[in-house]
Each structure stands twice: as structure tokens, then as C-alpha cells.
Amino acid sequence: MATPAPAQTIDLSARFPGILQPDTRPGYTGWIVDKSNLLEFASALKTELGYDYLSSLTGVDYLPEGKMEVVYQVYKTTGGPGVLFKVQVPRAEVVEVPSLMPVYPGVELQEREAWDMYGIKFTGHPDLRRILMWEGFAGYPLRKDWHEPYFEEEVKPFKSRWPEGKIVQAEGKNRFADNVTYPAGFDPENQTFKPEEALYDSLEKYQKAEIGLDTDHIIVNMGPQHPSTHGVFRVAVMLDGETVVNLKPVMGYLHRNHEKIGERNTYIMNMPYTDRLDYLASMSNNFGYALAVEKLMNVQPTERADYIRVMMAEMTRISNHLFLIGTLLNDLGAYFTPMLYALEERELILDIFEAVTGSRMMCNYFRFGGVARDLPEGTLQKVREIFFERLPRKIDELDRFLSENEIIRSRTVGQGVLTAEDAIKYSAAGPLARASGIPYDVRRAEPYSVYDRLEFDVCTRTHGDIYDRLMIRFDEIRQSIRIVQQVTKQIPEGPIVSMKPVYQVRVPAGEAYGRVEGPKGELGFYLISNGKPTPWRYHVRAPSFINLTAFGPMCVGQKLADAVAILGSIDIVLGEVDR
């Protein structure tokens, strides 16, 4: 069983004397940088030491100590452990930290999120607007002293449920019978509200045409209600005729406050909530969360549980890629036939999920130290039947159906190219980066669970266009089938959970970053615990969210119809983008 590699193994304090100090809080790792040295340190890390890939940026609010922190995690694309460094600033109404955009352009959306949720202003960011909430919203929601309108208690379980549990619905306690609250003295009639103004202003910079003819560019909203946007996602596109000049994604239409709710939940309660992040691949989310908490608790799962976890994770990957192939073909215009063929296979996999975990999509199967229940009778036989006899044949049929089709090729080959340098620059992860030629896969770079015992290839393709992103999914499905075939041969008998199933787990204080290779990219969970039953900070490094940083640059110069296909090939799912 692989133990995850430690966060860093090089001694940076020798290389940067006086700038860094190690983080010595119990259970914490990493380095603390002063904000005045931040840019110098980050550029040296990138250019001299080769840490070219910034994976995650997040803010933390330490209310009792009166400071706020920004946590950065960087890796090398050649593999190996990463560097975790932090900037600490005293807590105030608005705090300022220099932006890392000049060094790592992939932080664009993540810094906007830290501004939206914490009020951390990143000086030097070209377009610092709110991203998940709307402009004009009152307050910075993830701060510890900001309470939501339906606030009952700081942590669950709530006392009003037992033993005096007379049902009072949350609407009954709020004056407006709804989840709203307004600042004191607020008069809605004497004001106009303009939540869209900042968005259109940021696009206006590209208004003037470069060539001689005096034409106007127009802004078109591919709005939240659109058949091809994979959910409630909006894109404000500035068009010159049919060609895209600039593009701003607008998200937050499905912002379900996963991180704030996560801070109120106990550790076991968060497990079903992680299902709803990337709702097409629920068990890979469970996997990442279970790994992060197990790192904090220093608990290892049993061997049989590890094999079951890997089998479920790979089946989830196949089910996700099948859905993606179907929807990408839908976006290209092949209305529904390839989708029906792909969904048919997916239904058979979902049947297995339903028999083992209890639900087709929201599986809630992983627990700390193993899995929730053992495989029922006949499951392994069913898995063998499908993965040895049916699925390889059907994937080959789907491949034959699609891959040489001239219409698909002319629409996708050479369109929406993302070069390898751009992929690293914009922090692209998963199949998006691998289709551009970067062979980075967390299952090989930092092996977790039993992946180091299994044989599989890391799939890459070279051109980085939409066609490669479609074909790489077929490659990955074939590798996942190979992994599941090996697991069914190697799986041992034994217990399925290594600690007693209790509903109040004891998690020691500290921080942990657990990451897995989800179907969409590197899915990471950053957890900070202060010894209490609930996490202090719970952040999800969502691959779909960060992959969208590359969406704008990829689409410039393409036609609007290609922008739809490019969005389909990035593979976003809004539950993860908005959290």
C-alpha cells in the first residue's frame, strides 16, 4: 500500500535565507513567506527550481488569532512532491496581498474566488471581480464572523432536533419566510442594482477593432439556460461577426455553499456532500476526501478496501468519460444518437453502483479507513462479465462509429488548440493537459492507494485540439478497463474497514491536502482541523473550475460554434465549478 509522499523534501530555507520560515504549528507543514517577498520567491521557485505548475490557491480565516492566510500549492510537471507556502496578513475589513498573475497566470479565477469569499484584495490582478456571488452582494461569506440568514448554530448537530424536536422549518424562523437578510435601513425602492456592469466593462476594453474598417464588436450572452453549456454556466462573448474576440465565463449559478456547509458539518457528514461536487463521478470525490481525512487521522485503509476503492474509482472514470463522449457529440450536432449508445453502457455500470452502494449517482460509499459495506454476492462475477466480455467490444464499436467520421474530424482537428506551455501556464489538469502532451497523472506522480501495484499507461496525445481531447477519453477508458481487470484478479479477502465505525471521529489538529486523479483532472481537498469534531477550513481544488482559466485563451480567434465544442471538450461539471 502506498503511503502518500510528504509535502516537500527539499530544504528551501537554505536557498532563500531570511525570506522563508517553516510553518511550525503542530500538524502543519510548509513555509511562510512575507507578502513583500512573495513575487520574488514565486518567480525564483518557477524559473530556477522548476516548480512550474501552480495547483491550488486558497484563503483561510483564522479569526481567533486575528489573521488571514493565503495558501499556495505548487508542483513540478516532471513529478514528485510539491511545495506548500503561505502568506499571512493581519485580519481587517479588506486585506491586500500581491497577485501571482505575472508568475502563474493560472491563479486568475482562484484569486477572484478568494476576493469574493474572504475579501482578500490581490493587487495587480487585471480583473478582480466577484466570481461566485454577484457584484453588490453584502459581505464576504466564508469569513468566520459572517453568518448566513438561516444560521442556527456554529456546528452540527443542532440542539433543536433532539430531544425536544418539534419540527419548525427554517422558513418559519426567518421574518421573510425565505433565506434572505438585508443590511439595516435598506430601502430597495430608491436604488438601482447593476450586478452586470462590471462584467461588461471588463469586456469593453476590446471594443475597438484593430483593422481599418470602423465596425463594432457585439457582446452576446450564451446564457445560463442553454442546451450546450453542461449546466447553468454563462459565457459573455465579444464577437466580431462570427469570430470570438474575447470571452469571459460567468459562474456561480450553482454555488451551493459547499465549503461553508462543510465547516459546519462533522467529518462523516461531509461525505455525502462530496458526492454532489462532481456529480458524474461521485466516488472519486469520496476518494479524495477520504484520503485527506485519513492523512490527518493517520489511518490506513485495509487492503481489500483499497482494491474495492480503486475498482469503484476506475468504474466511475469510465462512466464519466462515456457521458462526456455523448455530450461532446451532442454539442457538435450529432443529436443524441452517440449519446444513447454511450449512455447504454453507462447504465450497466450504474446498475453495479446501485447494487453495491445503494444509489446510482450519489454513492456515499467510502468511509475513513475503508468502505461502508462489503460487495454483495455476485458483484465480482457481474463486474467480470461486463469488463471482460462486453465493455471492450462496445468501446471498440463506439470508436469505430466516431473516430474516423469525416464530419467530426473536420470540426475538431486543429480547432481549439491548447499548447503544452499554455496548459502549464493556465494550470490545466487531467485529460486537458495530457491531450496537449504533458504526461502528468497524479496516479503516477504521487501514487495513492494500490495504484503502484497495477499496470496501466498514462495516456497522452500531442496536438491539444478537440479531436485529441475526444480520443484521449477512449484511451483512458481502455486503460481503466485494464485496471479493473487486474483488480478483479488481485482482490484479496479480508475486512473492509480498519477502524471501528463511529459517527464522531477524532481528528487531530493539523492540515492535509489529499489529491486524487479524478476523471476531470487533479481533485484536491485541503482540510484544516483544530481538533474539534468539525473542520476549520475545507477547500476543494476543483479541476473543472481551474481548467476554465484556459477556456478564454483557447477560444480567441475561433468561431462561436467552435467555442461550444471547446467547452464540451474541456469537460466541466457545474457542481464542481461552483461548489
Partner 1 sequence: MSDMYGKGILKGLGVSLKRFADTYLDDLKWLGRRYGTDQGIAHRSGKDASGIFTVQYPEEKLPMPEEFRFIPFLVYDEGPNGEKNLRCTSCGICSKVCPPQCIWILRSSDPVTGRPIPDPADFFIDADICMNCGLCAEYCPFDAIKMDHDYEQASFGRNVLNKAQLSKSAKYYESIRPANAQRENAARLAKEAARVGKAA
Partner 2 sequence: MEPNDLNAPGFEIPPELKGQLAITSLDRIYNWGRSASVWPLMFGLACCAIEMICTAASRYDLARFGMEIMRPSPRQSDLMIVSGTVTKKMVPNIVRLYNQMPEPKYVLAMGACASGGGPFKEGYNVVSGVDKYVPVDVYVPGCPPTPQALLNGLMKVQEKIKGETLKTSRWYRKGPDQAEIPIPLLGPDLIDPRKIALIKNGEKA
Residues that bind partner 1 (CB under 8 A): 156-158, 160-167, 169, 265-266, 268-273, 337, 341, 344, 347-348, 351, 354-359, 362, 364, 372-373, 376-377, 382, 385-386, 389-390, 397, 400-409, 501, 503
Minimum distance of partner 1 from residue 333's CB (angstroms): 14
| Residue 548: exposure state from Cβ atoms within 10 A (0-12, 13-18, ≥19) | buried
Query: How is 178-216 classified by DSSP, letter by letter?
Result: SS----TT--GGG----TTHHHHHHHHTT-B-SSSS--B
Three-class DSSP category at 443 = helix
Q: Which amino acid is at 128?
A: L
Best CA proximity match to 534, nearest among 163, 153, 255? 153
Which CB sits closer to partner 1, 165 or 557?
165
Which CB sits closer to partner 2, 104 or 253?
253
Picked from partner 2, partner 1, none, the partner binding residue 265 (CB below 5 to 8 A depending on kind) is: partner 1
Gap between the Cα atoms of 544 and 382, Å rounded: 32
Three-class DSSP category at 390 = helix
| Residue 128: exposure state from Cβ atoms within 10 A (0-12, 13-18, ≥19) | buried
| Element spanning 406, H or E | helix 406-412
Picked from partner 2, partner 1, none, the partner binding residue 216 (CB below 5 to 8 A depending on kind) is: none
- Cα dihedral: 523, 529, 532, 533 (round 10): 10
Minimum distance of partner 2 from residue 136's CB (angstroms): 6
Picked from partner 2, partner 1, none, the partner binding residue 335 (CB below 5 to 8 A depending on kind) is: none
Contacts of 556 (CB under 8 A, 6+ apart): 244, 245, 246, 247
Picked from partner 2, partner 1, none, the partner binding residue 148 (CB below 5 to 8 A depending on kind) is: partner 2
Gap between the Cα atoms of 355 and 379, Å rounded: 8
Picked from partner 2, partner 1, none, the partner binding residue 572 (CB below 5 to 8 A depending on kind) is: none
Minimum distance of partner 1 from residue 378's CB (angstroms): 10
Residue 97 DSSP symbol: E
Query: How is 220-237 classified by DSSP, letter by letter?
Result: EEE-SS-TTSSSS-EEEE
Minimum distance of partner 2 from residue 116's CB (angstroms): 11
Minimum distance of partner 1 from residue 561's CB (angstroms): 20
The site for partner 2 (CB under 8 A) is made up of: 132-134, 136-138, 141, 148-152, 170-171, 175-189, 191, 193, 195, 223-227, 231-232, 252-258, 260-261, 264, 272-273, 276, 279-280, 323, 339-340, 343-344, 347, 360-362, 574-575
Which CB sits closer to partner 2, 253 or 448?
253
Minimum distance of partner 1 from residue 162's CB (angstroms): 4
Radius of gyration of the chain measured on its C-alpha atoms: 24
Picked from partner 1, partner 2, none, the partner binding residue 386 (CB below 5 to 8 A depending on kind) is: partner 1
Which CB sits closer to partner 2, 511 or 571?
571
Picked from partner 2, partner 1, none, the partner binding residue 193 (CB below 5 to 8 A depending on kind) is: partner 2
Minimum distance of partner 2 from residue 579's CB (angstroms): 10
Minimum distance of partner 1 from residue 331's CB (angstroms): 17
Gap between the Cα atoms of 176 and 477, Å rounded: 50
